[in-house]
Homo-oligomer: A and B are copies of this chain.
Protein backbone atom coordinates (compact mmCIF):
# COMPACT_ATOMS: atom_id res chain seq x y z
CA UNK A 1 0.00 0.00 0.00
CA UNK A 2 2.88 2.33 0.83
CA UNK A 3 4.32 1.61 -2.59
CA UNK A 4 0.99 2.35 -4.19
CA UNK A 5 0.68 5.58 -2.32
CA UNK A 6 4.19 6.60 -3.26
CA UNK A 7 3.27 5.91 -6.84
CA UNK A 8 0.08 7.87 -6.29
CA UNK A 9 2.16 10.78 -5.11
CA UNK A 10 4.01 10.54 -8.42
CA UNK A 11 0.64 10.48 -10.18
CA UNK A 12 -0.40 13.58 -8.33
CA UNK A 13 2.73 15.42 -9.35
CA UNK A 14 2.11 14.36 -12.89
CA UNK A 15 -1.46 15.60 -12.70
CA UNK A 16 -0.32 18.93 -11.31
CA UNK A 17 2.08 19.18 -14.20
CA UNK A 18 -0.72 18.32 -16.59
CA UNK A 19 -2.97 20.94 -15.08
CA UNK A 20 -0.36 23.62 -15.17
CA UNK A 21 1.20 23.07 -18.55
CA UNK A 22 -1.15 21.40 -20.92
CA UNK A 23 -4.06 23.22 -22.49
CA UNK A 24 -4.79 21.09 -25.47
CA UNK A 25 -2.57 18.38 -26.81
CA UNK A 26 -2.81 18.01 -30.53
CA UNK A 27 -0.72 14.87 -30.21
CA UNK A 28 -3.24 13.38 -27.84
CA UNK A 29 -5.97 14.01 -30.35
CA UNK A 30 -3.87 12.54 -33.13
CA UNK A 31 -3.43 9.42 -31.00
CA UNK A 32 -7.16 9.04 -30.91
CA UNK A 33 -7.32 8.94 -34.63
CA UNK A 34 -5.26 5.79 -34.88
CA UNK A 35 -6.95 3.79 -32.17
CA UNK A 36 -9.78 2.52 -34.35
CA UNK A 37 -10.29 -0.83 -35.87
CA UNK A 38 -9.82 -0.10 -39.51
CA UNK A 39 -6.71 1.58 -40.79
CA UNK A 40 -6.12 2.84 -44.28
CA UNK A 41 -2.58 1.47 -44.18
CA UNK A 42 -2.61 -2.05 -45.59
CA UNK A 43 -0.44 -4.52 -43.71
CA UNK A 44 -0.33 -7.51 -46.01
CA UNK A 45 1.00 -10.22 -43.73
CA UNK A 46 -0.85 -12.96 -45.58
CA UNK A 47 -1.45 -15.13 -42.54
CA UNK A 48 -3.73 -12.45 -41.11
CA UNK A 49 -6.58 -12.80 -43.51
CA UNK A 50 -9.71 -14.44 -42.30
CA UNK A 51 -11.08 -15.21 -45.72
CA UNK A 52 -9.42 -15.74 -49.03
CA UNK A 53 -11.21 -14.54 -52.09
CA UNK A 54 -11.64 -18.13 -53.26
CA UNK A 55 -13.02 -19.16 -49.94
CA UNK A 56 -15.54 -16.37 -49.92
CA UNK A 57 -16.54 -16.85 -53.50
CA UNK A 58 -16.64 -20.61 -53.78
CA UNK A 59 -16.26 -22.04 -50.32
CA UNK A 60 -13.46 -24.12 -51.83
CA UNK A 61 -11.93 -25.18 -48.54
CA UNK A 62 -14.99 -26.98 -47.26
CA UNK A 63 -17.47 -29.37 -48.78
CA UNK A 64 -20.30 -27.22 -47.48
CA UNK A 65 -19.99 -23.52 -48.40
CA UNK A 66 -19.27 -21.26 -45.46
CA UNK A 67 -22.12 -18.91 -44.52
CA UNK A 68 -19.72 -16.11 -45.42
CA UNK A 69 -19.14 -17.41 -48.95
CA UNK A 70 -20.70 -15.42 -51.78
CA UNK A 71 -23.93 -16.77 -53.25
CA UNK A 72 -24.35 -17.35 -56.98
CA UNK A 73 -24.39 -14.26 -59.17
CA UNK A 74 -27.92 -12.89 -59.47
CA UNK A 75 -29.38 -12.34 -62.96
CA UNK A 76 -28.50 -8.67 -63.35
CA UNK A 77 -27.74 -7.29 -66.81
CA UNK A 78 -24.15 -7.09 -68.00
CA UNK A 79 -22.69 -3.69 -68.86
CA UNK A 80 -22.83 -3.02 -72.62
CA UNK A 81 -21.11 -0.47 -74.84
CA UNK A 82 -24.38 1.45 -74.96
CA UNK A 83 -24.36 1.59 -71.17
CA UNK A 84 -20.82 2.96 -71.22
CA UNK A 85 -21.87 5.58 -73.78
CA UNK A 86 -24.59 6.72 -71.41
CA UNK A 87 -22.26 6.86 -68.42
CA UNK A 88 -19.63 8.80 -70.39
CA UNK A 89 -22.24 11.30 -71.43
CA UNK A 90 -23.33 11.86 -67.82
CA UNK A 91 -19.81 11.64 -66.36
CA UNK A 92 -17.34 12.76 -69.02
CA UNK A 93 -13.82 11.80 -67.95
CA UNK A 94 -15.20 10.22 -64.78
CA UNK A 95 -16.30 6.88 -66.20
CA UNK A 96 -13.35 4.59 -65.50
CA UNK A 97 -12.86 1.29 -67.33
CA UNK A 98 -9.08 0.87 -67.16
CA UNK A 99 -8.54 -2.38 -65.18
CA UNK A 100 -5.48 -0.94 -63.44
CA UNK A 101 -7.46 2.02 -62.22
CA UNK A 102 -10.30 -0.30 -61.16
CA UNK A 103 -8.03 -2.60 -59.17
CA UNK A 104 -8.24 -0.76 -55.84
CA UNK A 105 -12.02 -0.48 -56.11
CA UNK A 106 -12.41 -4.20 -56.69
CA UNK A 107 -10.54 -5.32 -53.57
CA UNK A 108 -11.41 -4.65 -49.95
CA UNK A 109 -8.94 -3.30 -47.42
CA UNK A 110 -8.32 -6.73 -45.87
CA UNK A 111 -7.78 -8.16 -49.38
CA UNK A 112 -10.29 -10.89 -48.65
CA UNK A 113 -12.98 -10.08 -51.19
CA UNK A 114 -12.23 -9.40 -54.83
CA UNK A 115 -14.86 -8.33 -57.33
CA UNK A 116 -14.59 -8.14 -61.08
CA UNK A 117 -16.25 -4.83 -61.84
CA UNK A 118 -15.31 -3.29 -65.16
CA UNK A 119 -16.79 0.17 -64.54
CA UNK A 120 -16.05 2.76 -61.89
CA UNK A 121 -18.26 5.84 -61.89
CA UNK A 122 -17.18 9.01 -60.10
CA UNK A 123 -20.08 11.46 -59.88
CA UNK A 124 -19.61 14.93 -58.39
CA UNK A 125 -23.23 15.87 -57.81
CA UNK A 126 -26.43 14.42 -56.45
CA UNK A 127 -28.04 14.96 -59.84
CA UNK A 128 -25.40 12.78 -61.47
CA UNK A 129 -25.96 10.03 -58.91
CA UNK A 130 -29.68 10.29 -59.59
CA UNK A 131 -29.18 9.97 -63.36
CA UNK A 132 -26.89 6.95 -62.92
CA UNK A 133 -29.21 5.09 -60.58
CA UNK A 134 -32.29 5.85 -62.61
CA UNK A 135 -30.52 4.40 -65.65
CA UNK A 136 -29.08 1.37 -63.83
CA UNK A 137 -32.44 0.56 -62.31
CA UNK A 138 -34.18 0.69 -65.67
CA UNK A 139 -31.43 -1.48 -67.18
CA UNK A 140 -31.30 -3.89 -64.18
CA UNK A 141 -27.62 -3.18 -63.65
CA UNK A 142 -26.27 -3.89 -60.15
CA UNK A 143 -24.45 -1.07 -58.34
CA UNK A 144 -21.91 -1.16 -55.53
CA UNK A 145 -21.85 2.20 -53.71
CA UNK A 146 -18.33 2.82 -52.44
CA UNK A 147 -16.91 5.37 -50.02
CA UNK A 148 -13.37 5.06 -48.67
CA UNK A 149 -13.46 1.25 -48.98
CA UNK A 150 -12.17 0.72 -45.46
CA UNK A 151 -14.86 -1.72 -44.30
CA UNK A 152 -13.96 -5.07 -42.73
CA UNK A 153 -16.89 -7.26 -43.75
CA UNK A 154 -16.69 -7.14 -47.53
CA UNK A 155 -19.52 -4.64 -47.81
CA UNK A 156 -17.73 -1.94 -49.77
CA UNK A 157 -16.54 -3.83 -52.86
CA UNK A 158 -18.31 -5.55 -55.72
CA UNK A 159 -18.75 -9.30 -55.37
CA UNK A 160 -19.10 -9.92 -59.12
CA UNK A 161 -19.36 -7.30 -61.86
CA UNK A 162 -21.43 -4.67 -60.06
CA UNK A 163 -20.78 -1.13 -61.24
CA UNK A 164 -18.75 0.72 -58.61
CA UNK A 165 -20.33 4.07 -57.77
CA UNK A 166 -17.70 6.02 -55.88
CA UNK A 167 -18.55 9.11 -53.84
CA UNK A 168 -14.89 10.20 -53.71
CA UNK A 169 -15.40 13.32 -55.85
CA UNK A 170 -18.41 14.46 -53.83
CA UNK A 171 -16.19 16.10 -51.25
CA UNK A 172 -17.46 19.61 -50.58
CA UNK A 173 -18.42 21.10 -47.26
CA UNK A 174 -21.80 22.72 -47.87
CA UNK A 175 -22.45 24.75 -44.73
CA UNK A 176 -21.21 25.11 -41.16
CA UNK A 177 -23.09 26.92 -38.44
CA UNK A 178 -20.64 27.95 -35.73
CA UNK A 179 -23.43 28.70 -33.25
CA UNK A 180 -25.20 25.36 -33.38
CA UNK A 181 -22.17 23.34 -34.52
CA UNK A 182 -24.15 21.82 -37.38
CA UNK A 183 -22.12 20.83 -40.45
CA UNK A 184 -23.54 19.79 -43.82
CA UNK A 185 -21.32 18.27 -46.46
CA UNK A 186 -21.29 15.92 -49.40
CA UNK A 187 -20.97 12.22 -48.67
CA UNK A 188 -17.49 11.84 -50.09
CA UNK A 189 -15.77 14.17 -47.61
CA UNK A 190 -12.93 12.28 -45.95
CA UNK A 191 -13.44 12.14 -42.18
CA UNK A 192 -10.01 13.56 -41.41
CA UNK A 193 -10.58 16.52 -43.72
CA UNK A 194 -13.82 17.27 -41.94
CA UNK A 195 -12.03 16.99 -38.60
CA UNK A 196 -9.36 19.45 -39.71
CA UNK A 197 -11.99 21.81 -41.11
CA UNK A 198 -13.85 21.72 -37.80
CA UNK A 199 -10.83 21.97 -35.52
CA UNK A 200 -9.91 25.24 -37.19
CA UNK A 201 -13.35 26.41 -36.11
CA UNK A 202 -13.03 25.05 -32.54
CA UNK A 203 -15.30 22.05 -33.11
CA UNK A 204 -14.73 18.31 -33.67
CA UNK A 205 -16.55 15.54 -35.47
CA UNK A 206 -18.66 13.41 -33.09
CA UNK A 207 -16.91 10.30 -34.40
CA UNK A 208 -13.27 9.35 -34.84
CA UNK A 209 -11.90 6.21 -36.47
CA UNK A 210 -8.49 4.75 -37.22
CA UNK A 211 -9.38 4.91 -40.89
CA UNK A 212 -10.11 8.64 -40.76
CA UNK A 213 -7.51 9.39 -43.41
CA UNK A 214 -9.44 7.38 -46.02
CA UNK A 215 -12.97 6.73 -44.86
CA UNK A 216 -15.72 9.06 -46.02
CA UNK A 217 -18.56 10.46 -43.97
CA UNK A 218 -21.14 8.90 -46.31
CA UNK A 219 -19.62 5.48 -45.70
CA UNK A 220 -19.40 6.17 -41.98
CA UNK A 221 -23.12 6.89 -41.93
CA UNK A 222 -24.01 4.00 -44.24
CA UNK A 223 -22.20 1.61 -41.89
CA UNK A 224 -23.23 3.38 -38.67
CA UNK A 225 -19.57 3.56 -37.69
CA UNK A 226 -18.85 3.44 -33.97
CA UNK A 227 -15.28 4.37 -33.18
CA UNK A 228 -13.56 6.09 -30.32
CA UNK A 229 -15.89 8.89 -29.34
CA UNK A 230 -19.10 6.87 -29.03
CA UNK A 231 -18.83 6.60 -25.23
CA UNK A 232 -18.87 10.38 -25.01
CA UNK A 233 -20.88 11.69 -27.94
CA UNK A 234 -23.21 8.77 -28.64
CA UNK A 235 -23.97 6.98 -31.87
CA UNK A 236 -24.62 8.47 -35.30
CA UNK A 237 -28.31 7.71 -34.69
CA UNK A 238 -28.34 10.79 -32.50
CA UNK A 239 -25.69 13.01 -34.05
CA UNK A 240 -26.67 12.71 -37.71
CA UNK A 241 -29.42 15.30 -38.13
CA UNK A 242 -30.16 14.93 -41.81
CA UNK A 243 -29.36 12.99 -44.95
CA UNK A 244 -29.82 13.39 -48.65
CA UNK A 245 -30.20 10.00 -50.29
CA UNK A 246 -30.67 8.85 -53.86
CA UNK A 247 -32.98 5.84 -54.02
CA UNK A 248 -32.47 2.84 -56.27
CA UNK A 249 -34.72 4.29 -58.98
CA UNK A 250 -32.96 7.66 -58.97
CA UNK A 251 -35.46 9.55 -56.84
CA UNK A 252 -33.73 12.04 -54.56
CA UNK A 253 -34.90 11.93 -50.97
CA UNK A 254 -34.09 15.25 -49.35
CA UNK A 255 -34.04 14.81 -45.60
CA UNK A 256 -31.01 17.06 -45.15
CA UNK A 257 -32.51 18.84 -42.18
CA UNK A 258 -30.21 21.05 -40.13
CA UNK A 259 -32.33 20.94 -37.00
CA UNK A 260 -31.88 19.36 -33.61
CA UNK A 261 -35.61 18.79 -33.31
CA UNK A 262 -38.06 17.81 -36.02
CA UNK A 263 -41.12 15.70 -35.27
CA UNK A 264 -42.90 15.98 -38.59
CA UNK A 265 -43.54 12.36 -39.57
CA UNK A 266 -41.34 9.27 -39.62
CA UNK A 267 -37.58 9.77 -39.40
CA UNK A 268 -36.70 8.29 -42.78
CA UNK A 269 -32.98 9.02 -42.55
CA UNK A 270 -32.64 6.35 -39.87
CA UNK A 271 -33.42 3.70 -42.49
CA UNK A 272 -30.23 4.57 -44.35
CA UNK A 273 -27.94 4.86 -41.33
CA UNK A 274 -26.31 1.43 -41.07
CA UNK A 275 -27.99 0.00 -44.17
CA UNK A 276 -24.59 -0.46 -45.87
CA UNK A 277 -25.64 1.02 -49.19
CA UNK A 278 -28.41 -1.53 -49.74
CA UNK A 279 -31.33 0.91 -49.49
CA UNK A 280 -30.01 4.07 -51.15
CA UNK A 281 -26.87 6.06 -51.87
CA UNK A 282 -26.18 8.73 -49.27
CA UNK A 283 -25.10 11.89 -51.11
CA UNK A 284 -25.04 14.49 -48.32
CA UNK A 285 -24.99 14.54 -44.56
CA UNK A 286 -25.88 16.98 -41.80
CA UNK A 287 -24.16 16.34 -38.48
CA UNK A 288 -24.18 17.90 -35.02
CA UNK A 289 -20.58 18.59 -33.96
CA UNK A 290 -19.32 18.99 -30.39
CA UNK A 291 -16.98 21.77 -29.29
CA UNK A 292 -13.28 20.89 -29.34
CA UNK A 293 -12.19 19.92 -25.81
CA UNK A 294 -9.57 22.23 -24.35
CA UNK A 295 -7.98 19.55 -22.19
CA UNK A 296 -7.19 15.87 -22.79
CA UNK A 297 -5.62 13.47 -20.24
CA UNK A 298 -4.69 9.79 -20.48
CA UNK A 299 -4.12 7.21 -17.72
CA UNK A 300 -2.98 3.59 -17.91
CA UNK A 301 -4.07 1.36 -15.03
CA UNK A 302 -3.73 -2.30 -14.02
CA UNK A 303 -6.44 -4.42 -12.37
CA UNK A 304 -6.18 -7.82 -10.71
CA UNK A 305 -9.57 -9.09 -11.89
CA UNK A 306 -12.12 -8.18 -14.52
CA UNK A 307 -14.59 -7.55 -11.71
CA UNK A 308 -12.25 -4.88 -10.37
CA UNK A 309 -11.96 -3.46 -13.85
CA UNK A 310 -15.75 -3.16 -13.99
CA UNK A 311 -15.82 -1.57 -10.53
CA UNK A 312 -13.20 0.89 -11.77
CA UNK A 313 -15.39 1.68 -14.76
CA UNK A 314 -18.33 2.32 -12.50
CA UNK A 315 -16.31 4.56 -10.19
CA UNK A 316 -14.89 6.34 -13.20
CA UNK A 317 -18.33 7.08 -14.65
CA UNK A 318 -19.36 8.52 -11.30
CA UNK A 319 -16.24 10.57 -10.53
CA UNK A 320 -15.07 11.60 -14.00
CA UNK A 321 -18.65 11.95 -15.14
CA UNK A 322 -18.97 14.43 -17.94
CA UNK A 323 -15.26 14.43 -18.89
CA UNK A 324 -14.79 10.68 -19.45
CA UNK A 325 -14.15 10.14 -23.16
CA UNK A 326 -12.65 6.64 -23.41
CA UNK A 327 -12.46 3.53 -21.25
CA UNK A 328 -10.59 0.83 -23.17
CA UNK A 329 -9.09 -2.44 -21.98
CA UNK A 330 -6.63 -5.18 -22.91
CA UNK A 331 -5.75 -8.41 -21.14
CA UNK A 332 -2.36 -9.83 -20.11
CA UNK A 333 -2.23 -11.96 -23.26
CA UNK A 334 -2.37 -8.75 -25.29
CA UNK A 335 0.47 -7.36 -23.17
CA UNK A 336 2.50 -10.52 -23.83
CA UNK A 337 2.00 -10.06 -27.58
CA UNK A 338 3.03 -6.40 -27.36
CA UNK A 339 6.15 -7.39 -25.41
CA UNK A 340 7.05 -10.33 -27.63
CA UNK A 341 6.32 -9.05 -31.11
CA UNK A 342 6.63 -5.28 -30.86
CA UNK A 343 9.18 -5.10 -28.01
CA UNK A 344 6.87 -2.74 -26.15
CA UNK A 345 7.45 -2.76 -22.41
CA UNK A 346 4.71 -2.66 -19.84
CA UNK A 347 4.68 0.86 -18.32
CA UNK A 348 3.35 -0.52 -15.02
CA UNK A 349 3.72 -3.77 -13.08
CA UNK A 350 2.27 -6.98 -14.54
CA UNK A 351 -1.48 -7.34 -14.07
CA UNK A 352 -4.13 -9.59 -15.58
CA UNK A 353 -5.97 -6.56 -17.02
CA UNK A 354 -5.04 -3.09 -18.24
CA UNK A 355 -7.20 -0.04 -18.78
CA UNK A 356 -6.70 3.10 -20.86
CA UNK A 357 -8.82 6.01 -19.63
CA UNK A 358 -9.07 9.29 -21.50
CA UNK A 359 -10.71 12.49 -20.31
CA UNK A 360 -11.71 15.44 -22.50
CA UNK A 361 -12.91 18.61 -20.88
CA UNK A 362 -13.05 22.36 -21.01
CA UNK A 363 -10.75 23.11 -18.06
CA UNK A 364 -7.40 21.38 -17.62
CA UNK A 365 -7.12 22.17 -13.91
CA UNK A 366 -10.56 20.76 -13.18
CA UNK A 367 -9.93 17.70 -15.33
CA UNK A 368 -6.64 17.03 -13.58
CA UNK A 369 -8.29 17.32 -10.16
CA UNK A 370 -11.13 15.00 -11.11
CA UNK A 371 -8.67 12.46 -12.41
CA UNK A 372 -6.60 12.71 -9.25
CA UNK A 373 -9.64 12.25 -6.99
CA UNK A 374 -10.77 9.29 -9.03
CA UNK A 375 -7.32 7.67 -8.92
CA UNK A 376 -7.03 8.15 -5.16
CA UNK A 377 -10.43 6.58 -4.63
CA UNK A 378 -9.71 3.68 -6.97
CA UNK A 379 -6.42 3.03 -5.18
CA UNK A 380 -7.96 3.37 -1.71
CA UNK A 381 -10.68 0.91 -2.64
CA UNK A 382 -8.04 -1.46 -4.04
CA UNK A 383 -9.76 -1.57 -7.41
CA UNK A 384 -6.56 -0.65 -9.15
CA UNK A 385 -3.23 -2.38 -8.53
CA UNK A 386 -0.98 0.04 -10.34
CA UNK A 387 -1.13 2.94 -12.75
CA UNK A 388 0.60 5.76 -14.55
CA UNK A 389 -0.46 9.12 -15.94
CA UNK A 390 0.96 10.69 -19.07
CA UNK A 391 2.71 13.98 -18.32
CA UNK A 392 3.97 14.72 -21.78
CA UNK A 393 2.83 14.09 -25.32
CA UNK A 394 5.25 11.30 -26.04
CA UNK A 395 4.09 9.39 -22.98
CA UNK A 396 0.45 9.98 -23.84
CA UNK A 397 1.20 8.53 -27.24
CA UNK A 398 3.04 5.59 -25.69
CA UNK A 399 0.14 4.81 -23.34
CA UNK A 400 -2.45 4.93 -26.10
CA UNK A 401 -0.28 2.70 -28.25
CA UNK A 402 -0.53 -0.10 -25.66
CA UNK A 403 -4.16 -0.34 -26.63
CA UNK A 404 -3.91 0.61 -30.28
CA UNK A 405 -1.10 -1.69 -31.35
CA UNK A 406 -2.65 -4.92 -30.08
CA UNK A 407 -4.11 -5.57 -33.54
CA UNK A 408 -0.67 -5.12 -35.08
CA UNK A 409 0.95 -7.39 -32.48
CA UNK A 410 -1.60 -10.07 -33.33
CA UNK A 411 -0.51 -10.07 -36.97
CA UNK A 412 2.87 -11.43 -35.83
CA UNK A 413 1.37 -14.23 -33.80
CA UNK A 414 0.23 -16.38 -36.72
CA UNK A 415 -3.20 -16.81 -38.23
CA UNK A 416 -5.86 -14.81 -36.38
CA UNK A 417 -9.60 -15.42 -36.20
CA UNK A 418 -11.33 -12.18 -35.29
CA UNK A 419 -14.72 -11.53 -33.72
CA UNK A 420 -16.31 -8.16 -32.95
CA UNK A 421 -18.88 -8.85 -30.25
CA UNK A 422 -21.20 -6.57 -28.30
CA UNK A 423 -22.54 -7.80 -24.96
CA UNK A 424 -23.97 -6.54 -21.69
CA UNK A 425 -20.81 -4.98 -20.27
CA UNK A 426 -20.58 -7.34 -17.29
CA UNK A 427 -20.15 -10.29 -19.64
CA UNK A 428 -17.69 -9.08 -22.23
CA UNK A 429 -14.67 -10.84 -20.75
CA UNK A 430 -16.52 -14.03 -19.89
CA UNK A 431 -16.60 -14.75 -23.62
CA UNK A 432 -12.80 -14.72 -23.71
CA UNK A 433 -12.53 -16.92 -20.64
CA UNK A 434 -15.10 -19.40 -21.89
CA UNK A 435 -13.49 -19.52 -25.32
CA UNK A 436 -10.14 -20.30 -23.70
CA UNK A 437 -11.68 -23.18 -21.75
CA UNK A 438 -13.63 -24.36 -24.77
CA UNK A 439 -10.63 -24.45 -27.09
CA UNK A 440 -8.03 -25.74 -24.64
CA UNK A 441 -4.84 -26.58 -26.52
CA UNK A 442 -6.39 -26.14 -29.95
CA UNK A 443 -5.60 -22.42 -30.06
CA UNK A 444 -2.19 -20.82 -29.75
CA UNK A 445 -3.74 -17.94 -27.84
CA UNK A 446 -7.12 -16.44 -27.06
CA UNK A 447 -6.98 -12.72 -26.37
CA UNK A 448 -9.50 -10.03 -25.55
CA UNK A 449 -9.43 -6.25 -25.78
CA UNK A 450 -11.86 -3.50 -26.70
CA UNK A 451 -14.23 -0.77 -25.64
CA UNK A 452 -15.51 -1.40 -22.07
CA UNK A 453 -17.58 1.75 -22.21
CA UNK A 454 -19.49 0.44 -25.21
CA UNK A 455 -19.73 -3.23 -24.11
CA UNK A 456 -17.72 -4.17 -27.18
CA UNK A 457 -15.03 -6.88 -27.00
CA UNK A 458 -12.63 -7.85 -29.76
CA UNK A 459 -12.06 -11.57 -29.35
CA UNK A 460 -9.06 -12.91 -31.26
CA UNK A 461 -8.03 -16.55 -31.51
CA UNK A 462 -4.63 -17.33 -33.02
CA UNK A 463 -3.07 -20.46 -34.45
CA UNK A 464 0.29 -21.09 -36.14
CA UNK A 465 -1.46 -21.44 -39.52
CA UNK A 466 -4.91 -21.52 -41.04
CA UNK A 467 -6.82 -24.24 -39.22
CA UNK A 468 -10.29 -25.38 -40.38
CA UNK A 469 -10.63 -27.61 -37.32
CA UNK A 470 -10.04 -24.61 -35.09
CA UNK A 471 -12.67 -22.61 -37.00
CA UNK A 472 -15.09 -25.47 -36.52
CA UNK A 473 -14.38 -25.34 -32.79
CA UNK A 474 -14.88 -21.56 -32.63
CA UNK A 475 -17.97 -21.32 -34.85
CA UNK A 476 -20.84 -21.50 -34.23
CA UNK A 477 -19.77 -21.67 -30.55
CA UNK A 478 -18.92 -17.95 -30.46
CA UNK A 479 -22.17 -16.97 -32.15
CA UNK A 480 -24.30 -19.25 -30.00
CA UNK A 481 -22.57 -18.00 -26.86
CA UNK A 482 -23.27 -14.43 -27.92
CA UNK A 483 -26.89 -15.13 -28.90
CA UNK A 484 -27.57 -16.83 -25.57
CA UNK A 485 -26.64 -13.55 -23.85
CA UNK A 486 -28.57 -11.33 -26.27
CA UNK A 487 -25.33 -9.93 -27.65
CA UNK A 488 -24.57 -8.69 -31.13
CA UNK A 489 -22.41 -10.68 -33.55
CA UNK A 490 -21.43 -7.42 -35.18
CA UNK A 491 -21.01 -4.56 -32.77
CA UNK A 492 -19.65 -1.96 -35.15
CA UNK A 493 -18.46 -3.58 -38.39
CA UNK A 494 -21.81 -4.33 -39.98
CA UNK A 495 -22.72 -7.50 -41.87
CA UNK A 496 -21.61 -6.79 -45.43
CA UNK A 497 -20.93 -9.90 -47.48
CA UNK A 498 -19.12 -11.92 -44.84
CA UNK A 499 -21.52 -11.81 -41.93
CA UNK A 500 -24.87 -11.52 -43.67
CA UNK A 501 -25.93 -15.08 -42.91
CA UNK A 502 -25.10 -14.75 -39.19
CA UNK A 503 -27.79 -12.12 -38.71
CA UNK A 504 -30.19 -14.59 -37.05
CA UNK A 505 -27.84 -14.93 -34.10
CA UNK A 506 -28.67 -11.34 -33.17
CA UNK A 507 -32.04 -10.64 -34.76
CA UNK A 508 -35.29 -12.62 -34.61
CA UNK A 509 -36.71 -13.92 -37.88
CA UNK A 510 -39.65 -11.46 -37.67
CA UNK A 511 -37.19 -8.60 -37.70
CA UNK A 512 -35.14 -10.02 -40.55
CA UNK A 513 -38.30 -10.61 -42.58
CA UNK A 514 -39.28 -6.98 -42.03
CA UNK A 515 -35.83 -5.87 -43.20
CA UNK A 516 -36.50 -7.87 -46.35
CA UNK A 517 -39.80 -6.04 -46.82
CA UNK A 518 -38.04 -2.69 -46.47
CA UNK A 519 -35.43 -3.71 -49.02
CA UNK A 520 -38.15 -4.82 -51.43
CA UNK A 521 -40.01 -1.54 -50.94
CA UNK A 522 -37.02 0.71 -51.56
CA UNK A 523 -35.10 -1.35 -54.08
CA UNK A 524 -37.53 -3.79 -55.71
CA UNK A 525 -35.01 -4.98 -58.29
CA UNK A 526 -32.31 -5.39 -55.67
CA UNK A 527 -29.70 -3.50 -57.68
CA UNK A 528 -28.13 -1.70 -54.70
CA UNK A 529 -25.17 -3.49 -53.15
CA UNK A 530 -26.47 -7.01 -53.78
CA UNK A 531 -25.25 -10.00 -51.70
CA UNK A 532 -24.78 -7.71 -48.67
CA UNK A 533 -26.35 -7.23 -45.22
CA UNK A 534 -29.45 -9.41 -45.68
CA UNK A 535 -29.19 -13.20 -45.46
CA UNK A 536 -29.41 -15.35 -48.58
CA UNK A 537 -32.69 -16.95 -47.55
CA UNK A 538 -34.45 -13.62 -48.03
CA UNK A 539 -33.36 -13.22 -51.63
Evaluate whether A318 and B362 lie within 8 angstroms (CB atoms) in the complex, with A226-B261, A239-B234, A258-B486 already known.
yes
Q: Which of A442-495 contact B (CB under 8 A)?
A: 453-456, 486-495
Q: Identify which of B177, B259, B265, B274 contacts A267 (C-beta below 8 A).
A: B274
Q: Does A23 interact with chain B (Cβ within 8 Å)?
A: no
Q: Is the CB of A511 within 8 A of B254?
A: yes
A238 partner residues in chain B, CB cutoff 8 A? 234-235, 237-239
A255-287 CB contact bits vs B (8 Å, 1 = yes)? 101111111111110110111000100000000
Of A9-17, A77-85, A418-426, the one with at least 4 CB within 8 A of chain B: A418-426
Q: Is the CB of A486 within 8 A of B257?
A: yes
Q: In the assembled complex, how far is the CB of residue A157 from the closest CB belonging to chain B, in whole angstroms? A: 18
Evaluate whether A425 and B179 lie within 8 angstroms (CB atoms) in the complex, with A318-B362, A320-B362, A362-B319 already known.
yes
Q: Does A503 interact with chain B (Cβ within 8 Å)?
A: yes
Q: Is the CB of A318 within 8 A of B426?
A: no
Q: Is the CB of B490 within 8 A of A264?
A: yes
A181 partner residues in chain B, CB cutoff 8 A? 317
Q: In the assembled complex, how far is the CB of residue A417 from the closest CB belonging to chain B, in whole angstroms? A: 19
Q: Identify which of B456, B503, B510 contacts A252 (C-beta below 8 A).
A: B510
Q: Is the CB of A237 within 8 A of B322?
A: no
The number of chain A residues with a CB under 8 A from chain B is 94
CA distance A423 to B178 in the complex (A): 15
Q: Identify which of B202, B254, B317 contacts A508 (C-beta below 8 A).
A: B254
A505 partner residues in chain B, CB cutoff 8 A? 264
Q: Is the CB of B267 within 8 A of A237?
A: yes
A533 partner residues in chain B, CB cutoff 8 A? 265-266
Closest to A454 in B: B260
A299-342 CB contact bits vs B (8 Å, 1 = yes)? 00000000000100110011111110000000000000000000
A291 partner residues in chain B, CB cutoff 8 A? 317-318, 321
Q: Is the CB of B495 within 8 A of A265?
A: yes
Q: Identify which of B226, B265, B453, B502 contacts A515 (C-beta below 8 A).
A: B265
A153-170 CB contact bits vs B (8 Å, 1 = yes)? 000000000000000000
Evaluate whether A491 and B370 lie within 8 angstroms (CB atoms) in the complex, with A177-B424, A234-B238 already known.
no
Q: Does A518 interact with chain B (Cβ within 8 Å)?
A: yes
CA distance A514 to B179 in the complex (A): 33
Given contacts A180-B455, A255-B507, A265-B515, 18 further A-B contacts (CB under 8 A): A226-B263, A234-B238, A235-B261, A259-B424, A260-B453, A261-B488, A264-B502, A265-B511, A266-B279, A266-B518, A267-B270, A267-B273, A321-B362, A363-B369, A363-B370, A366-B366, A366-B369, A521-B521
